[in-house]
């Protein structure tokens, strides 16, 4: 269930579409950690004027990376304490600002008498008016409502109903504090002061409304809260990359655990290196980093709305506790697109940085999805560069295409034909297996040997064919097993089993490059049976697929990570 928009799109669209959401999720976590680290250091700089923000931001990112490797994770009690302290701080700032505004009404009057500011429209300065202020102000405000994308990435760790409460609480608090503090800031600080200190406006409000003690309080609170945001980035990216590596969307070595603390250190190290490069590339510019974060956040929000629409169109029978009306999905996506274009038109240079990092991440993700083509291209290049060499007696590339693993249940008798195909098929010289490419061909065999599972209920030829086509298009394997779980052992069930076995045998001949098996299991189709199959046959649940569940019992099965691939 973890994975947020990636998991949503994975169960409603293809794996390649979901991979785009995965890239944006990674970028969103990266921006979360980087923006939190630099913002924390800017608030700290209000009390330590000579503090180098760039170096301190990288150091803060490294400290939390080390803590993540050691095994420090988020605590609900600590999070509650930090939330209480932060809410108290914002409340004190709001009350002090309100009192200041009542005693000094001239500040807000002067701010509202100022003409609308000119805006940078795709590199050109445009005279400001009400519409430009509304449009670009709405776009800039998107950075103030970030956080909604994070909760969906660890929904498995939440009790039923908690996710909805999390969304409600974030919406309520963001609505109250963001709106009130935005208005109060105009009554405390002149616009010129806010424009000169865009990264530490709250600290400046505390200084003006309450004095140095309140500024110090706000700076300490901001540093703690934003540092927790850095840890959130590490914890979130660790869970996401683990999920992606299990789905073979990211390299599996990233999720390897060290023997010392049993934590995936490769994820933390890679995250720190990429995050540090982003800080260096933008010279710790809080505004530029915030805009990169805005692009990532808005992209994620659009994919959530798009995923909801796809679920309505393609998975309409899945049981759900909440039904979002069509107008809310369309309106939400439209507003997100408007915010995206507002940020783009305001500073197009930021989009270049955003897409640069997006393309790097996408290159890794899609090279994993298309790894068979990459490996075959490497074999081709080795043979073209090194020249012809006598092939070994058995061609593992053809063996991968034709040979079969020991079957769970034998139901065809063409194994000898397939085996002979491996040795009789003629290949061009750059397709032969040689000692130079032995490691590459072994890798191809290992990747293709992971079986996929589809749970079939009825002898529906169209459904079975759709499942096969999905696996051929979205997964890298030559082995697929059809499981049928039945509760009653009677004559009708035995007849259905025989018919299903014949159907799978027929499809096994139709798709010669995909080896099909049929397995029947006597029991109830419930989560316990799924876990038993996963343990007995050593197949992870994320390599198991079902059709669209139409009742609560089957829906509980999909909550274990079993993917919905067809209606």
pLDDT tens track, the chain, 567 positions: 556 778 888 888 888 999 998 898 888 888 888 989 999 999 999 898 888 999 999 999 999 999 888 887 666 788 788 889 999 999 999 999 999 999 999 999 999 888 888 887 766 788 888 888 888 888 888 777 766 666 666 666 667 777 778 788 888 888 899 899 999 999 999 998 998 888 889 999 999 999 999 999 999 999 999 998 898 888 888 888 888 888 888 888 888 888 888 888 999 999 999 999 989 988 888 777 877 888 888 888 888 889 889 888 888 777 777 788 899 999 999 999 998 888 888 777 778 888 888 898 999 999 999 888 888 888 888 878 876 555 555 544 444 444 434 344 444 444 444 433 344 445 554 456 667 778 888 888 888 888 999 999 888 899 999 999 999 998 999 999 999 999 888 888 899 999 999 999 999 999 988 999 999 999 888 888 899 999 999 999 889 998 887 665 555 666 667 888 876
Show which of 291, 326, 361 is a domain's final residue.
361
Do 377 and 351 lie in one domain? The reply is no
Q: For position 390, what pLDDT does the model report?
A: 54
Do 253 and 390 lie in one domain? The reply is no
Do 31 and 98 lie in one domain? The reply is yes
Establish if 240 belongs to a structural domain. yes
Euclidean distance between CA atoms 384 and 228, whole angstroms: 53
Euclidean distance between CA atoms 265 and 263, whole angstroms: 6
Do 287 and 418 lie in one domain? The reply is no
Establish if 536 belongs to a structural domain. yes
Establish if 366 belongs to a structural domain. no
Show which of 327, 361, 395 is a domain's final residue.
361
Contact 138, 338 (CB under 8 A): yes
Q: For position 397, what pLDDT does the model report?
A: 46
Do 160 and 55 lie in one domain? The reply is yes
Establish if 75 belongs to a structural domain. yes
Do 292 and 384 lie in one domain? The reply is no
Do 233 and 201 lie in one domain? The reply is yes
Q: For position 398, what pLDDT does the model report?
A: 47
Do 329 and 403 lie in one domain? The reply is no
Query: Where in the sequence is the domain holding 46, given as residue range(s)?
Result: 5-361
Establish if 189 belongs to a structural domain. yes
Strand, coil or helix: 98: helix
Torsion sign across C-alpha atoms 307, 309, 314, 317: positive
Contact 280, 193 (CB under 8 A): no
Q: For position 119, what pLDDT does the model report?
A: 81
Do 407 and 337 lie in one domain? The reply is no
Establish if 495 belongs to a structural domain. yes
Q: For position 32, what pLDDT does the model report?
A: 85
Contact 520, 499 (CB under 8 A): no
The CATH number of residue 294's host domain is: 1.20.1740.10
Structure tokens at 289: 């980093």
Strand, coil or helix: 473: helix
Question: Structurally, how many domains does the chain consist of?
Answer: 2
Euclidean distance between CA atoms 241 and 260, whole angstroms: 20
- DSSP string over 72-135: ----HHHHHHHHHHHHHHHHHHHHHHHHHHHH-HHHHHHHHHSPPPPEEETTEEE---HHHHHH
Residue 409, strand partner residues? none
Establish if 322 belongs to a structural domain. yes
Show which of 340, 361, 382 is a domain's final residue.
361
Do 336 and 441 lie in one domain? The reply is no
Q: For position 129, what pLDDT does the model report?
A: 86
Structure tokens at 109: 């009057």
Do 493 and 525 lie in one domain? The reply is yes
The CATH number of residue 473's host domain is: 3.40.50.620
Do 393 and 534 lie in one domain? The reply is yes
Residue found by looking up tokens 């991440």 in the block: 361
- DSSP string over 331-384: HHHHHHHHHHHHHHHH-HHHHHHHHHHHHHHHHHHHHHHTHHHHHHHHHHHHHH
């Amino acid at each position: 269930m973890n994975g947020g928009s990636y998991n949503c799109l994975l169960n409603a669209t293809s794996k390649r579409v979901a991979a785009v959401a995965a890239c944006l999720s990674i970028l969103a976590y990266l921006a979360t950690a980087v923006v939190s680290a630099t913002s924390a250091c800017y608030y700290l700089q209000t009390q330590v004027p000579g503090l180098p923000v760039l170096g301190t931001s990288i150091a803060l990112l490294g400290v939390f990376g080390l803590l993540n490797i050691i095994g420090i994770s988020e605590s609900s009690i600590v999070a509650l304490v930090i939330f209480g302290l932060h809410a108290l701080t914002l409340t004190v700032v709001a009350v002090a600002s309100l009192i200041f505004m009542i005693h000094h009404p001239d500040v807000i009057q002067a701010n509202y008498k100022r003409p609308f500011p000119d805006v940078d429209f795709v590199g050109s300065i445009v005279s400001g008016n009400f519409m430009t202020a509304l449009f670009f102000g709405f776009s800039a405000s998107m950075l103030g409502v970030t956080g909604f994308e994070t909760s969906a990435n660890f929904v498995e760790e939440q009790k039923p109903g908690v996710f909805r409460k999390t969304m409600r609480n974030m919406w309520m608090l963001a609505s109250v504090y963001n709106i009130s503090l935005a208005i109060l800031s105009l009554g405390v600080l002149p616009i010129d002061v806010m424009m000169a200190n865009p990264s530490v406006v709250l600290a400046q409000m505390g200084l003006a409304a309450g004095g140095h003690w309140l500024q110090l309080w706000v700076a300490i609170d901001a540093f703690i809260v934003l540092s927790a945001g850095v840890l959130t980035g590490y914890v979130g990216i660790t869970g996401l990359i683990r999920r992606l590596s299990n789905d073979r969307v990211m390299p599996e070595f990233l999720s390897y655990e060290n023997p010392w603390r049993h934590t995936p250190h490769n994820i933390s190290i890679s995250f720190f290196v990429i995050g540090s490069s982003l800080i260096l590339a933008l010279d710790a510019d809080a505004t530029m980093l915030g805009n990169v974060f805005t692009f990532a956040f808005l992209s994620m929000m659009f994919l959530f709305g798009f995923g909801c629409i796809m679920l309505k169109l393609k998975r309409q029978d899945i049981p759900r506790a909440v039904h979002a009306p069509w107008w809310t999905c369309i309106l939400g996506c439209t507003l997100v697109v408007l915010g995206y274009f507002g940020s783009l038109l305001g500073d197009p240079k930021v989009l270049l940085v955003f897409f640069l990092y997006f393309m790097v991440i996408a290159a890794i993700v899609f090279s994993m999805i298309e790894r068979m083509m990459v490996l075959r291209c490497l074999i081709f290049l080795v043979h073209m560069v090194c020249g012809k060499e006598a092939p070994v007696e058995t061609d593992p590339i053809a063996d991968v295409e034709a040979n079969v693993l020991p079957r769970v249940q034998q139901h065809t008798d063409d194994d000898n034909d397939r085996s002979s195909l491996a040795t009789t098929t003629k290949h061009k010289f750059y397709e032969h297996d040689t000692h130079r490419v032995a490691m590459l061909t072994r890798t191809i065999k290992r990747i293709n040997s992971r079986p996929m599972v589809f749970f079939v209920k009825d002898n529906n030829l169209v459904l079975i064919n759709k499942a096969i086509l999905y696996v051929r298009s979205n997964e890298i394997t030559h082995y697929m097993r059809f499981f049928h779980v039945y509760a009653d052992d009677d004559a009708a069930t035995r007849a259905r089993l025989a018919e299903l076995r014949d159907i799978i045998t027929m499809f096994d001949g139709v798709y010669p490059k995909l080896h099909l098996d049929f397995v029947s299991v006597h029991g109830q189709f419930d989560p316990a049976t799924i876990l038993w199959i996963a343990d007995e046959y050593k197949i992870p649940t994320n390599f198991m697929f079902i059709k669209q569940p139409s009742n609560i019992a089957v829906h509980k099965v999909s909550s274990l990570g079993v993917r919905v691939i067809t209606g």
